[in-house]
Amino acid sequence: MRSVIDILDLSVEELEDLIATAQDIIANPESYSERCRGKKLATLFFEPSTRTRLSFEAAMYELGGNVLSVTGAGTSSAAKGESVADTAKTVSCYADIIAMRHPKEGAALVAANNASVPVINAGDGGHCHPTQTLADLLTIYREKGGFDNLTVGLCGDLKFGRTVHSLINALSRYRNIRFVLISPEELKLPSYVKNETLKKFGLPYVQSTDLEEVLPQLDILYMTRVQRERFFNEEDYLRLKDCYVLTPDKLRKAKRDLCIMHPLPRVNEISVAIDDDPRACYFKQVLNGKYMRMALILKLLKEAKA
């Protein structure tokens, strides 16, 4: 049974197909409104989430399907000690497809190995979040017309930020991508991502601690939140949480066609004064996420039927 746990589970061709489907959904939403009639999506969210769960549920409703929902480990059998494997086997009896978020890394793979329906990883701890990357890719595609010849700045928590790692992995398969990695020393991109992706594929990158200095070079600026839940030590979190704040003043040095992205939720990283700037794309990203999830649900249900 085909599942999507990591963005690299999808080939470049499949990503292109998903983007084409999402573009078609945006252009012709009514022709997709009955595609999942009679199908059920189970959203199993064992960790807090607003946007991702609602995005999956909205996606399924807009395809004409139904949703079964579990939110919070405390309200499900997980609270009684049920394993992820047993949960996946059980939910497979009720639903046609599962979207799961879990605080433990690798939980989605365990679910996929045991479910008899497709599983979409909606975030497994600090590990992978492939549908966020799908949202990011559609946003870049729509704003920049493609993925080649871009200078992509990634700013904030590059150590624990799963969206950053996934985006680097996804973009590493395109041509002439250059990365600018902006973070404090303590939150630098892990060496394994540098060695096994950037260096392995010969992708040029520079590291910086100064956002303002590198901002004029960027075509894409991907801001991230410093995530409290990834720290074992509260003091470290408090010291690092506001290390980068994007303000209208700083943006004066940026390109006129810069695309500002953020996986959301934001805390203080982007001033609300930027929200009306035409370069702010983070709420478009949210909407694009729904379209890409629709495209992915359609693809996996089609493959499961075949």
Partner 1 sequence: MNIDSIQNGIVIDHIRAGCGMQLYDLLKLGELDVSVAIIKNVTSHKMGKKDIIKIDADIPVDLDVIGFVDPDATINVIRNGVLVEKKTLALPEKLTNVLKCKNPRCITSCEQELPHVFKLADRAQRLYRCIYCETKA
Catalytically active residues, by annotation:
51-52, 80, 101, 129
Q: Which of 18, 98, 107, 298 binds partner 1 (CB under 8 A)?
A: 107
Closer to partner 1 at the Cβ: 82 or 148? 82
Residues 16-45 contacting partner 1, CB under 8 A? none
The two structure tokens encoding residue 128: 């992978």
Residue 252: strand, helix, or coil: coil
Considering only residues 69, 83, 116, 149, which one is a binding residue for partner 1 as defined by CB under 8 A? Answer: 83
In sequence order, the β-bridge partners of residue 101 are: 45
Given the rule CB under 8 A, which of 119-127, 150-158, 247-255, 291-299 is the region that contacts partner 1?
119-127
Instruction: Measure the N-to-C terminal CA separation of the chain; round to a whole number of Å.
Output: 10
Residue 299, CA distances (Å) to 10, 33, 61, 98 in order: 11, 15, 16, 13
* Interacting residue with partner 1 among 14, 34, 105, 186 (CB under 8 A): 105
Residue 74 interacts with partner 1 (CB under 8 A): yes or no: no
Residue 109 or 220: the one with the smaller Cβ distance to partner 1 is 109
d(CA 11, CA 218): 27
Exposed/middle/buried for 208, CB within 10 Å: 0-12, 13-18, 19+? middle
127 binds partner 1 (CB under 8 A): yes
Virtual torsion, Cα 176, 182, 188, 190, nearest 10 deg: -20
Q: Binding to partner 1 by residue 257, rule CB under 8 A? A: no
Q: Quick check: 192 binds partner 1 (CB under 8 A)? A: yes
Tell which positions 207-246 bind partner 1, by CB under 8 A.
Answer: none
Q: How far is the CB of 196 from partner 1 (least distance, A)?
A: 7
Q: How far apart are CA 20 and CA 13, in angstroms?
A: 10
What's the chain's Rg over C-alpha atoms?
A: 19
Question: Toward partner 1, which CB reaches closer, 64 or 103?
Answer: 103
Residue 202 sits in the site that holds partner 1 (CB under 8 A): no
Side-by-side strand order, sheet with 119-124: 66-71, 40-45, 97-102, 119-124
Q: Output 7 or 260, the one with its CB closest to partner 1.
A: 7
170 interacts with partner 1 by CB under 8 A? no
For position 184 contacting partner 1 by CB under 8 A, the verdict is: no
Contacts to partner 1 by CB under 8 A: 83-85, 102-107, 109-110, 124-127, 192, 196
